[in-house]
């Protein structure tokens, strides 16, 4: 029987430790012979990522025990860190990047020997110059090599870096000899993805782009002839450009080149056929995906993301949708699209193919991400790995709502609303609940509609959560994501505030008990919201950007070092805009309590931003707390960190909103 209990004070079986233990998701699925492999987070093991082996009989094995950490740092956000193959003698070979030293290692999972290094070790004194990183490996057994992205630091600054497509010998000869690494492409482009090789081995295709563009702004699809020695020649651009984003490429079984790009408003699937008589050696592109307003691709935040995979029978597995995604099988000849049946409403950008079977990573509002196999001959989909388990009774999970709100200039704002929910408690009388507006990172990212125990941590205690896919988010076409062009700190802030006000105006949320929270770019949005609006009573700001000018001047890593030119404008042309929008220059406007959370090893949003922000705030009498975490970078991965952060956030809301929460440590708010 429900007990009348004030919002925010409800007891809940979903504690912070439980939410932290289920943080993260499986990624980068692939096949090694008849087996399906993938990476998986281990928050309780210092946040490392392990490699999981899915046996044909359904058994799962977490291979490569601690301290092995299968994760790349190329462009800092990384990318596909492993590949596997079956050799002629039937033995398996796996190549992976180890996070700690960023070397490539080769490993025979059934051989009994430990992994052996393939690439040189970093400098023992910690110097960046000469440091090598690797991503998106493709094992080439016929050549005795693994082809991948090589990132090489040429100096000590984060932007002193070059990237090329390279070949690493599998015999280990490059482990102590940088000269044994063969560079297959030149470094004319700042960023590259790993190469995809045609079925006959005579051509290679990859994606490249340059500053100041981000990959969702404009990229180029490069095609090269592969010589008998493996060298690339006759490199040419066959698709894409400054205002067309090619997000992925791969080869069909018939030798045609497939790619996803957005010459219109949506990422669509296209095909090029090799044609020696054509000027570039390829035919004119043909669109394969149906003429619908849906995305068949997404933002390339990590190297090697996959929204489609060609199949041996000519069909193409695709991840597609608007706002949400589904797994489908596309017939490229007819354009017919058959979607997989099942409860999954969101699919990650990773796919593998094994004969007539497609393997992906799917989730839903009632289940976390799990490994799903679709049998295309029967249409049956089933979970084959990392199966969701309910750590508590699902009656405590939130019941989300897909909503569209109206913002300034009558623009649409997409959001997911999670009202407070508990089977045991209801509010007394006509009390309205507190709500927390969540601003996602990126900002070119997206909040998926999936089960998140961090959200359930709050909703099961009587807090509402509103995830806002503000203008600039992906999943709704190029025009929607380009609403943020030169408007960062304006459109995102306005959209979040519009959703918060609408919830209050319609009687869903208590207007006096609204909060805002976000990490990374969402931390920026949260901080600007506290300085530019009076909507929120408090806020949680997680590894944020607080000073645009400093961030633009060698204040971050290379990948995003020119991002602000599209988000804010060229700094040389609009320096005042950088100053005027930065929260660090408006600490005098902050009147609401806030919590600041920061990893001390963060090279993307360094702690210096928070420290200078707090020095300017000193003596102003604003209640606040600043928690830092050793060993954490951009994105918290360790169980103890996430527990401390969640409990501190809950304590902030409880103190601000006058809610009794004796079940969490009291966060000390300084003035």
Digit-coded pLDDT (tens) for 63-105: 999 999 999 999 999 999 999 999 999 999 999 999 999 999 9
User: pLDDT value at position 1?
Assistant: 53
Q: Is pLDDT of 516 > 90?
A: yes
pTM: predicted TM-score of the whole model, two decimal places: 0.95
Write down how long the chain is: 671
Give one DSSP letter per residue of 461-474, joined into a string: TT-EEEEEE-TT-S
Confidence band for 6, pLDDT divided at 50, 70 and 90: very high
Classify residue 484 by its DSSP letter. Answer: G
Residue 588 three-state SS = helix
How many Å apart are CA 28 and CA 14, to the nearest integer? 29
Q: Is residue 125 over pLDDT 90?
A: no
% residues pLDDT > 90 (the chain):
94
Pairing type for strands 196-197 and 203-209 reads antiparallel
User: What are the two backbone dihedrals, phi and then psi, of residue 453, each rounded to the nearest 5 degrees?
Assistant: -70, -15
Q: What is the pLDDT of residue 553?
A: 87
Residue with tokens 């509402």: 464
**Span between the terminal Cα atoms of the chain, in Å:** 43
Residue 2 pLDDT more than 70? no
H/E element, 139? strand 132-140
- Top pLDDT among 190 and 125 is at 190
Q: How many CB atoms lie within 10 A of CB 67?
A: 11
> What is the rounded average pLDDT of the residues 192-217?
97
- C-alpha distances in angstroms, 330 versus 28, 78, 90, 206, 584? 22, 29, 33, 23, 50
Q: Is 250 exposed, middle or buried (0-12, 13-18, 19+ CB in 10 A)?
A: middle
Q: Let me know: does 76 contact 603? Beta carbons within 8 Å.
A: yes
- Is residue 179 predicted with pLDDT exceeding 70? yes
- pLDDT beyond 70 at 258: yes
């Amino acid at each position: 029987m429900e007990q009348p209990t004030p919002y925010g004070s409800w007891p809940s079986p979903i504690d912070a430790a439980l939410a932290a233990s289920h943080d993260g998701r499986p990624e980068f699925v692939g096949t090694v012979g008849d087996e399906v492999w993938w990476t998986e987070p281990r928050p309780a093991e210092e946040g490392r990522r392990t490699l999981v082996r899915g046996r044909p009989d359904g058994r799962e094995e977490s291979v490569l025990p601690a301290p092995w950490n299968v994760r790349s740092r190329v462009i800092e956000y990384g990318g596909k860190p492993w590949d596997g193959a079956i050799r002629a003698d039937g033995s398996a070979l796996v190549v992976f990047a180890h996070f700690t030293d960023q070397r490539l290692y080769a490993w025979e999972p059934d051989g009994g020997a430990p992994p052996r290094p393939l690439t040189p070790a970093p400098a023992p004194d910690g110097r960046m110059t000469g440091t090598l990183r690797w991503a998106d490996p493709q094992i080439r057994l016929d050549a005795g090599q693994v082809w991948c992205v090589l990132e090489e630091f040429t100096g000590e600054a984060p932007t002193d870096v070059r990237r090329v497509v390279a070949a690493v010998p599998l015999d280990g000869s490059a482990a102590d000899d940088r000269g044994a690494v063969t560079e297959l492409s030149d470094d004319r482009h700042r960023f590259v993805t790993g190469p995809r090789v045609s079925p006959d081995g005579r051509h290679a295709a990859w994606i490249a782009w340059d500053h100041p563009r981000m990959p969702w702004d404009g990229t180029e699809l490069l095609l090269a002839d592969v010589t008998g020695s493996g060298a690339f020649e006759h490199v040419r651009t066959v698709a894409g450009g400054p205002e067309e984003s090619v997000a992925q490429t791969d080869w069909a079984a018939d030798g045609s080149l497939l790619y996803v790009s957005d010459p219109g408003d949506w990422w669509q699937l296209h095909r090029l056929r090799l044609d020696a008589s054509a000027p570039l050696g390829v035919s004119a592109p043909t669109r394969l995906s149906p003429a619908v307003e849906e995305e068949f691709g997404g933002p390339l935040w990590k190297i090697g993301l996959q929204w489609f995979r060609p199949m041996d029978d000519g069909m193409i597995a695709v991840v597609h949708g608007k706002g949400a995604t589904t797994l489908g099988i596309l017939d490229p000849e007819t354009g017919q699209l058959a979607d997989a049946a099942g409860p999954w409403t969101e699919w990650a950008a990773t796919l593998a193919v094994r004969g007539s079977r497609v393997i992906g990573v799917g989730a839903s509002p009632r289940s976390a991400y799990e490994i799903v196999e679709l049998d295309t001959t029967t249409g049956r989909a089933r979970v084959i790995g990392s199966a969701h388990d309910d750590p508590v009774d699902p009656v405590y999970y939130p019941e989300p709502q897909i909503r569209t709100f109206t913002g300034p200039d009558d623009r649409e704002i997409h959001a997911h609303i999670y009202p407070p929910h508990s089977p045991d408690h209801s509010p007394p009388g006509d009390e309205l609940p507190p709500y927390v507006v969540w601003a996602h990172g990126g900002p070119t990212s997206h909040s998926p509609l999936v089960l998140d125990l961090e959200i359930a941590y709050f909703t099961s205690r009587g807090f509402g959560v509103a995830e806002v896919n503000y203008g600039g988010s992906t999943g709704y076409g190029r025009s929607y994501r380009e609403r943020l062009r030169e408007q960062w700190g304006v459109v995102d802030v306005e959209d979040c505030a519009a959703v918060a006000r609408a919830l209050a105006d319609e009687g869903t949320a208590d207007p006096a008990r609204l909060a805002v929270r976000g990490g990374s770019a969402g931390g920026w949005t949260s901080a600007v919201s506290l300085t530019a609006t009076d909507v929120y009573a408090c806020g949680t700001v997680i590894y944020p950007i607080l000073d645009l000018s400093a961030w633009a001047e060698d204040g971050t890593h290379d990948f995003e070092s020119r991002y602000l030119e599209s988000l804010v404008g060229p700094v040389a042309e609009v320096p005042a805009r950088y100053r005027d929008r930065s929260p660090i220059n408006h600490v005098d406007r902050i009147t609401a309590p806030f919590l600041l959370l920061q990893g001390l090893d963060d090279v993307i949003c360094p702690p210096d931003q928070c420290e200078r922000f707090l020095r300017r705030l000193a003596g102003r009498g604003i209640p606040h707390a600043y928690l830092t975490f050793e060993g954490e970078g951009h994105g918290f991965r360790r169980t103890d960190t996430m527990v401390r952060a969640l409990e501190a956030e809950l304590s902030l809301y409880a103190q601000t909103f006058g809610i009794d929460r004796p079940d969490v440590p009291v966060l000390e708010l300084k003035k």
